Structure 1
Amino acid sequence: MLGVFLDCTAANAGAADLPKIIYVRPVPNNDDVLLQQGSSGVNNAAKLYKMQASTLESQATRAGRLLQLDNAVKQGAKIVVVMGIEFKDLLDSVARQAPQTRFLILEHCIDNAANNITCITFREPEASYLAGMQAALTSSTGKIGLIGASDTALRQKNSQAFTNGARAAKATISIHEPLWVEGPQPFNDPPRAEALTKTMLGDGVDVIWAAAAGSNSGVFKALTPQSHAKAIGSGVNQCMQAPGKVLDNVEVHADSAIILAVGLLTNGSTAQRFDFGLKEGAVALTALGLDAAYSECDILRQRPVLQKLREASNAIISGKLKID
């Protein structure tokens, strides 16, 4: 028994000696899929790179987030990971006071940031281009469109890539002007997204890229009575939310991006920005993924279209196909 006790004590001591990676959530635990990917990414990175992972949940206030950032530093984190625009105005001052800690923030890069802040960006336009191709190739009316959350510079890039992909696949395709949810909760306003979808359907659009995260359920609801209209989801696999109505999805794999970034940092990188896309598996179409067969995405019924998308994806990865 004494030997077992000593072995357990040694194991616990060994775990305690591992460098710490701490994930600071912007809000208490909820069902936000992207925030859950943050937890998954940090936990899996810790396993791969022999670190000790933990999560700190912030109260949904500036003071609450600042408190947990400070707590992560006090707990001796080697790497602190955050997701969400809520941290953009907080992180720089905290980082400058904790030069021994590396801070990793997804998407929301900070101008003239402290040297110990690394930003992860995603080459979303690569997958947006493929979504445009898919929409054009599957439309029976020859009219497609995009409903997004908010009209920002990043979303405009995705919209332009969607247009470029559609026109590359079918030069005669008609593309509706993008419609934006906007308002105080652009990523979580299904009624507004439903109204915009009905407008677009009334204009003859029969394939819509729903690029509005949690608002997308409104898009799917509007499609339900339609016999022909389809959607392409976004963020994660949304095909199961509206079986038979969702062709595919433009996915962002924040968990994979975190694992890649942590690996680079632990191997000595001091880069202040990592940019990940199709090649790194950080963005993708659901139907081209390893588990596509279980996705319930409607595009799986159209193998010739899938083959064209696969060829285009490979060409983008190899550099043979430029999406601009």
Structure 2
Amino acid sequence: MPPISQTPRADARSPAPFPIPRPEYPRTRWWLLLLPLALLLASVSVITGAAELPKIIYVRPVPNNDDVLLQQGTSGVNNAAKLYRLQASTLESQPTRAGRQQQLDNAVQQGAGIVVVMGIEFKEILDKVARQAPQTRFLILEHCIDNAASNITCITFRESEASYLAGMQAALASSSGKIGLIGASNTALRQKNSAAFANGARAAKPAISVHEPLWVEGAQPFNDPPRAEALTKTMLGDGVDVIWAAAAGSNPGIFKALTPQSRAKAIGSGVNQCMQAPGRVLDNVEVHADTAIVLAVGLLANGSTASRFDFGLKEGAVALTALGLDAAYSECEILRQRPLLLKLRETGSAIASGKLKVD
């Protein structure tokens, strides 16, 4: 990396903050509105070449595929690069431990100031790489490492906030008075989200019946639509008519089981899935990894050396599709129920402002 004029802050306990310009930290997803200005400033700045810009590199755990969340990693580092005058690139790993290790090493050797990774696959190998590259700041999404090197920052999401809203929506949209959740794997995080879902449902409708969560599990819990379809049929047989489909790549199996005869609906997860199953998906609990990456890089640019950043509704890192700026184009069924939407918007605002605690 080329010499810089800014002198890093001395800190015996933490590595120096990433040495890049320090524009004002964008507090919400309105950072998108700053992109045209950032591009204009970049066009008139005296820059001798892209090779002189600090580097931010995203290392994917697998080759490029249709995983939307992983794709957000690339868009996140690209957007951060535009805002903070960085040079962005993405390295695709072979789906093995050795392949991921190699690409982490490549990112360091290429002189990355920030390396971004996403996926539990990196949890066991990142710490060693980080300790061998103290000049590099590493960002890992969702999977924090115990006693991690001081140059690792994990990004976590307050998914329980959106989970609470999903529970409210499910309860208010249910005709049978029975709702449920089908998840991929029964982890501590998913249990927390499941509890928030149930709490939100009971806050909206105290008499609601919340089915015990069903988990896909097995060898491929995140990509087993047939197993998810079978679980959905079981839940429908128990009278559930609104299901939170929180099973990642297994969700298509849930949507498939929601036949017109069942009259049941689903709430999708991760991204907008309303278009994947028209008429069967009410709404979605979205996670915006791209937003989180931009916010995290902004904090680093302002000198933060924190070991963890936590983002939720307030920051726009988690959301319901129906409450987003582009909701009108989402094709989500919940848009037909305006009174319900107003209730969700009111509750979402209370959570974002801190007036309502869901944990």
Q: Do structure 1's residue 299 and structure 2's residue 299 form an aligned pair?
A: no
Q: Which 4+ residue blocks in structure 1 deviate beyond 3 angstroms?
A: 10-13
Partner of 1:111: 146
Structure 2: gaps (5+ residues): 1-44
Q: Do structure 1's residue 238 and structure 2's residue 273 form an aligned pair?
A: yes
Q: Do structure 1's residue 175 and structure 2's residue 213 form an aligned pair?
A: no
Q: Please, what is the CA RMSD of the aligned residues?
A: 1.1
Partner of 1:191: 226
| Structure 1 counterpart SS, 2:269 | strand
Partner of 2:51: 16
Residue type matched to 2:72 in 1?
A: Q
Partner of 1:6: none
Partner of 1:222: 257
Relative contact order (alpha carbons < 8 A, sep ≥ 6): 1 or 2 greater? Answer: 2
**Contact 2:236/2:262 (CA < 8 Å) preserved in 1?**
no
Q: Give the CA deviation at 1:12.
A: 8.1
Q: Distance in 2 between matches of 1:11 and 1:181?
A: 54
Partner of 1:256: 291
Q: Give the CA deviation at 1:225.
A: 3.8
Q: Do structure 1's residue 165 and structure 2's residue 211 form an aligned pair?
A: no
Q: Do structure 1's residue 152 and structure 2's residue 187 form an aligned pair?
A: yes
Q: Give the CA deviation at 1:14.
A: 2.1
Write out per-residue CA displacement over residues 130-163 of structure 1, whole angstroms, 9 at most, x where no aligned residue.
0000000000000000000111100000000000
Partner of 2:134: 99
Corresponding residue to 2:176 among 141, 151, 163: 141
Partner of 2:100: 65
Write out per-residue CA displacement over residues 251-276 of structure 1, whole angstroms, 9 at most, x where no aligned residue.
00000000000111122110010000
Q: Distance in 1 between matches of 2:261 and 2:287?
A: 28
Q: Distance in 2 between matches of 1:121 and 1:95?
A: 19
Write out per-residue CA displacement over residues 99-141 of structure 1, whole angstroms, 9 at most, x where no aligned residue.
0000000000000000000000000000000000000000000
| Structure 1 counterpart SS, 2:89 | strand
Partner of 1:81: 116
| Structure 2 counterpart SS, 1:40 | helix
Q: Distance in 2 between matches of 1:161 and 1:287?
A: 19
Residue type matched to 1:287 in 2?
A: A
Q: Distance in 2 between matches of 1:14 and 1:224?
A: 57
Q: Which has the higher helix share?
A: 1
Partner of 1:3: none
| Structure 2 counterpart SS, 1:130 | helix
Q: Give the CA deviation at 1:227.
A: 4.5
Q: Do structure 1's residue 317 and structure 2's residue 352 form an aligned pair?
A: yes
Corresponding residue to 1:275 among 306, 310, 321: 310
| Structure 2 counterpart SS, 1:248 | strand
Q: Distance in 1 between matches of 2:103 and 2:193?
A: 33
Residue type matched to 2:198 in 1?
A: T
Q: Distance in 2 between matches of 1:251 and 1:172?
A: 27
| Structure 2 counterpart SS, 1:164 | helix
Q: Do structure 1's residue 287 and structure 2's residue 319 form an aligned pair?
A: no
Q: Percent identity?
A: 86
Partner of 1:4: none
| Structure 2 counterpart SS, 1:47 | helix
Q: Distance in 1 between matches of 2:156 and 2:261?
A: 37
Partner of 1:210: 245
Q: TM-score, normalised by structure 2?
A: 0.86
